């Protein structure tokens, strides 16, 4: 039996009506299309982590958590010897944003250079939208909700 380390991660599906906030790495386009995501730190719970990651990666604070869509395990092999326990949240945008923008993620814990991300909005169509690294795992749940009712946030 393998003893791969398990890391808690959060993934953020930030929506504005029927669109999803996504980004590409400006300097590393090969990393593919992604949504804000990251590691849950020792001192925080997943809901706090998802809000922090959205802010660090996009510069956006105006979001509210609608719900936890689910949790799943993702094996990072062959890239890393790590199993990720991913907490996937649906959040709704509560502020205005441009249709596209660039934001530099700065990690206060490291002295690495800032990483540039190019953000934009894509229409939810029921597919995983080709998100990198298995990030589209629960997107079909999201599309189902946005199509069915405008008041699903109240249930």
Would you name the residues annotated as active-site residues?
56
Position of tokens 């629960």? 138
Could you tell me which residues are beta bridge partners of residue 73? Answer: 85
Tokens, residue 143? 């599309």
Per DSSP, 41 falls in state P
Cβ contact 84:74 at 8 Å:
yes
Cβ contact 11:37 at 8 Å:
yes
Q: Could you tell me the CA-to-CA distances from 134 to 39, 147, 154 in Å, in that order?
A: 16, 23, 29
Tokens, residue 150? 């405008």
State phi, psi for 58 to the nearest 5 degrees. -115, -20
């Amino acid at each position: 039996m393998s003893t791969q380390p398990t890391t808690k991660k959060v993934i953020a599906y930030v929506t504005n009506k029927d669109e999803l906030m996504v980004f590409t790495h400006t300097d590393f386009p090969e990393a593919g299309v992604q949504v804000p995501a990251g590691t849950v730190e020792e001192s925080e719970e997943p809901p706090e982590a998802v809000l922090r990651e959205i802010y660090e990666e996009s510069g956006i604070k105006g979001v509210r958590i609608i719900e936890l869509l689910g949790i799943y395990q993702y094996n990072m092999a062959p890239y890393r010897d790590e199993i990720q326990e991913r907490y996937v949240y649906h959040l709704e945008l509560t502020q205005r944003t441009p249709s596209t923008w660039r934001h530099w993620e700065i990690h206060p814990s490291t002295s690495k250079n800032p990483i540039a991300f190019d953000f934009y909005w894509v229409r939810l169509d029921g597919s995983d939208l080709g998100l990198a690294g298995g990030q589209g795992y629960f997107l079909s749940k999201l599309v189902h909700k946005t199509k069915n009712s405008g008041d699903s946030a109240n249930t």
